[in-house]
Amino acid sequence: MTIQTIATTPFAGQRPGTSGLRKKVTEFQQPGYLENFVEAIFLTLGDCAGRTLVLGGDGRYFNRQAIQTILRMAAAHGVAKILVGRGGILSTPAVSCVIRKHGAFGGIVLSASHNPGGPDGDFGIKYNIGNGGPAPEKITEAIFAHTKALSSYRISDAGPVDLDAIGTSRIEDMQVEVIDPVADYAELMGRLFDFDAIRALFASGFTMRFDGMSAVSGPYAKAIIEGMLGAPAGTVVNAEPREDFGGHHPDPNPVNAAELIALMDGPDAPDFGAASDGDGDRNMIVGRKLAVSPSDSLAIIAANATVAPGYRAGIKGIARSMPTSQAADRVAAALGVSCFETPTGWKYFGNLLDAGLATLCGEESYGTGSDHIREKDGVWAVLFWLNLLAASGKSVNQIVEEHWARFGRNYYSRHDYEAVDAGAAEAMMQALRDQLDTLAGRQFGDFRVQQADDFAYTDPVDKSVSSRQGIRIVMTDGSRIVLRLSGTGTEGATVRLYLERYEADASRHGLATQEALAPLIDIAEQVSQLKQRTGREQPSVVT
Ligand code: G1P
Ligand code: ZN
């Protein structure tokens, strides 16, 4: 075994996006492409002597190969110990949990989240810091700077490690420990939630379907929901992680989890439906004929936090990404706690959680989580809902309707225009920025614009400023139109249009969402000329 120094040249475009570096598998398969990015991570980390890292991924195509490469590079950079999930598997929340529990210096997560997998799909890599959360921008920018200036990388020529057997081996001076990917995470969940109450709920005949979408959450859900909580075998479906996610698009929303939605809409619907994404950090909560909007789910979890033992003392605050609906703000106000509005991406929650300013966080993109780790957490959200259902004895629908009756309903939807021409999308955003100053005070039908801006965020803890985070057009009644470009897409540009309308009157809570939002959809088109500029008549996905 020797450490080699291999000559390389920089690849363009290795700047981490909303959630790490995401590219087509074929791009990652170019010789040196993965190695360069990993070298840039290690150069950013500096001296790794004595340090422990965590490594794992969502099991998608190229996961195992990437893990072997990263192990050999970690050894070449003097890492003391690396904890790797058996089979190369660790969900994103499990990486966060393991980093924190074992006091690791950081971790490397291999995932492109909900993006499709397989040889023609996507792959991704991101670095998480010692608090278990995604690296903040100053680190991702330092990694990017290194990728532009590389001339070599270091790697051991050791043979592959057996990833399928729990146990310890060595590469150079580095200890490699293959760990059970579920154990630490399951133990943490057992401390946060009332497992006895949930067991009693299942014992009473309560029925559920959890759709693992052939991605990483399956083994976690099976071990916890069927194994520890006693749900009947078969409650968790599509539970085996597959390299191509069985052809599924592993994004838990009504469009991509259509099978689950059909079941929940039909005559044989179980009491509760749930799904998670490629790397296990997203969740969808479904009642009979009702997919709960993620923004509502955050608000409902916040309003009921104290039912779960881990949150009995109450919550310190709530944080939501800017495009997420303002439903949680109303709960925060009622509880007398702060509500923070951050840019899109989980990394912005880390400082708030570390500083004890927020306990719960959420994004409209099916992401919910808390200060138990520093990533959003799909199975956690599902367990929270199970705890709530068990404690209240109510159905999902009852809980949601009672929440709206108390706080009002924030009708909410996101329209995605995927893989549009990047230049056209940029031009549309620029044209929006150019008219921001003229929008305030303008009347559009029943709506009057109160404020229009390009969202900028100053982190209350480290005072770092993130600008150009999305165009907000806020109406005097609190309704909003938000437009931004995706930072995770891998093809052209994806325009996201977010729409929100508040309705206090419970007699008007039964409208179809798109119908309730129709006037705002028209205004968005009028202001942005989205259709004409992108050449698209319809959004690619509506959630
Ligand atoms: C999307 C979501 C965002 C989420 C991110 C990673 O990012 O919108 O909320 O944090 O995926 O899961 P976007 O593509 O919009 O930049
Ligand atoms: Zn994800």
Indicate which residue's Cα is closest to atom 2 of ligand 1: 365
> Ligand 1 centroid vs 453 CA: distance in angstroms?
20
- For residue 478, what are its two tokens? 């609190």
Which tens digits make up the pLDDT trace of 278-295? 999 999 999 999 999 999
Does the structure show a pLDDT above 90 at 374? Answer: yes
Q: Could you give the CA distance from residue 237 to residue 366 in angstroms, rounded to a whole number?
A: 19
What DSSP letter does each residue of 128-162 carry, written as one string? E-TTSSBPPHHHHHHHHHHHTS-SEEEEE------
Nearest 5°: phi and psi at 282? -100, 165
Q: From the CA atom positions of the chain, what is the Rg in Å?
A: 23
DSSP helix/strand/coil, 59 = coil
Q: Would the pLDDT of 519 be above 80?
A: yes
Contact (CB, 8 A) for 185 and 91: yes
- pLDDT (tens digit per residue) in 291-319: 999 999 999 999 999 999 999 999 999 99
Q: Tell me: pLDDT of 367 over 90.
A: yes
Percentage of residues of the chain with pLDDT beyond 90? 97
What is the structure's pLDDT at 248?
A: 84
416: pLDDT strictly greater than 90: yes
Is pLDDT above 80 for 490? no
Helix (H) or strand (E) holding 6: strand 3-7
Could you tell me the two tokens for 310? Answer: 């881990």
Q: How confident is the model over 123-138, as pLDDT tens digits?
A: 999 999 999 999 988 9
Strands (DSSP E) contained in 43-197 are: 52-57, 81-89, 106-110, 122-128, 152-156, 167-171, 174-179
| 36 Cα–ligand 2 center, Å | 24
Evaluate whether 246 touches 359 at the Cβ level (below 8 Å): no
The ligand with the least distance to the CA atom of 215 is 2
In percent, how much of the chain has pLDDT > 70? Answer: 100
Give me ligand 2 centre to Cα 115, in Å: 8
Position 204 scores a pLDDT of: 98
Name the residue of 22, 249, 365, 495 to mutate for ligand 1: max ligand atoms within 8 A of Cβ: 365
- What's the pLDDT at 445? 95
What is the model's pLDDT at position 488? 82
| Domains of the chain with CATH codes | 3-181 (3.40.120.10), 185-407 (3.40.120.10), 409-542 (3.30.310.50)
**Residues lining ligand 1, Cβ inside 6 A:** 18-19, 113, 321, 344-346, 363, 365, 367, 486-489, 496
Average pLDDT over residues 237-260: 94
Expressed in angstroms and rounded, the spacing between residue 93 Cα and the centre of ligand 2 is 9
- Which residues partner with 3 through β-bridges? 156
pLDDT number for residue 200? 98
Which atom of ligand 1 is nearest the CA belonging to 487?
16
Active site residue 113: yes
**Annotated catalytic residue: which of 113, 217, 365, 486?**
113
Q: What letter would DSSP give residue 493?
A: E
Average predicted confidence (pLDDT) for the chain: 97
pTM over 0.75: yes
Ligand 1, closest atom to CA 484? 15
- Per-residue pLDDT tens for 83-107? 999 999 999 999 999 999 999 999 9
